[in-house]
Every structure is written in C-alpha cells, then in structure tokens.
Amino acid sequence: MWRDLIRKDRLRSILLLALYLALTLLVQNTLFAKMRLWGVHVIVLPALMVAVGMFRGPIWGGVFGIFAGVFANMGYPESIVLFILLLPLIGYVSGMLSEHLLTRSLVAFLCMIAAAQLLTAFFQLFRLWVFQGADLKALLITGLKQAAVSLPFSVPFYYISRAVSRREKAV
C-alpha cells in the first residue's frame, strides 16, 4: 500500500532539495557569515529560492521556501519571521515568472536574483529604519552593497539547478 503512495522520483527530488538546502545553509552560516566584502555579508538564500522556483516551478519554490525559511531563521535569530515569509514568496514568484513571463536563461535568473536580493535587503533593513530611526540613505547604500556583493555568488545556483533539472527530465 505504501509503495503505491510514494513515488520514487518525487522522493528523490525531495531528498535532493533537502541536501541542496543543507549545503547552502552550511556555506551561508559558516563561510559567508565570517566573510565581509565592502562591509556587508553575502547572502545566497534568495538565490537558492529563485533557482528552485525557476527550475522546479512555483509550487515547489513556495513549499521549499517555507522549509528553507524555518531553517534560515535558526541561523539568523534577530529576524524572527523574515525568512519564513520572504523565502516562499521569492520561490513562488520566481517560479511563476519563469513559467509565464521570463525564459530560464542566465540573464533572467540574474535579474530575478537582483530583485530578490534587493527585496531581502529592504526587509532586513526596514526594522532598523522604522523602529530604530537609522538613516535611510545609509541603509539604502548598505542594501545595494549587499545585493551587489551577493550577486556573483549566486551564479553557481543557476548552473547546478539547471543541470539537475535537465538530468531529472531525461530520466
């Protein structure tokens, strides 16, 4: 009975995405947490969400974003629900855009990454601006620097996700 309910290809996809998330969080919380470029930290979680949404579709991107958001909040305790709400949105919207509006090219991927990085930076810095009265100009410069620094580190997600997607479609 259970054999009829569990599809091997779907189970393999779930396990592969779990491994993808674990490796990304490991790199994010160890390597990129210590590395500062232009005074900001690199954040690659939005790139992971765009890659999953782009090559797996909006449902996979949204559901995967919920799980990624839960585990990402463990690494960033200062942002209580930021990633739980933001990462599914990024995954779902990038999946919808890649299915209905944009191609699955590197240029479209980089445009979606830039938008996702700017959105993430805005929501990270919004609390500082509203509740702590930080200077808006300094916050915007910091957000732009974070998006610019994170963009080159997002390119491998495109090639990894594209290769896995092509391999799974061939099987």
Average pLDDT for consecutive 10-residue bins of the chain (171 residues)? 65 80 81 74 84 85 85 73 82 86 81 86 75 73 80 84 73 57
Q: Judge whether 2 lies within some domain.
A: no
Give the whole-angstrom CA distance, residue 42 versus residue 152. 10
- Answer left, alpha or beta for residue 11, where phi above 0 means left and psi between -120 and 50 means alpha: alpha
Per-residue model confidence (pLDDT) at position 139 = 72
Per-residue model confidence (pLDDT) at position 66 = 86
Per-residue model confidence (pLDDT) at position 13 = 76
Per-residue model confidence (pLDDT) at position 125 = 77
Q: Judge whether 161 lies within some domain.
A: yes
- Count of domains for the chain: 1
CA 153, 159, 162, 164: dihedral to nearest 10 degrees? Answer: -100
Q: What is the CATH number of the domain that holds 31?
A: 1.10.1760.20
Burial class (CB in 10 A: 0-12, 13-18, 19+), 3: exposed
Per-residue model confidence (pLDDT) at position 107 = 85
Q: Judge whether 86 lies within some domain.
A: yes
- Supply the pTM of this predicted model: 0.79
Per-residue model confidence (pLDDT) at position 54 = 86
Helix (H, G, I), strand (E, B) or coil at 132: coil
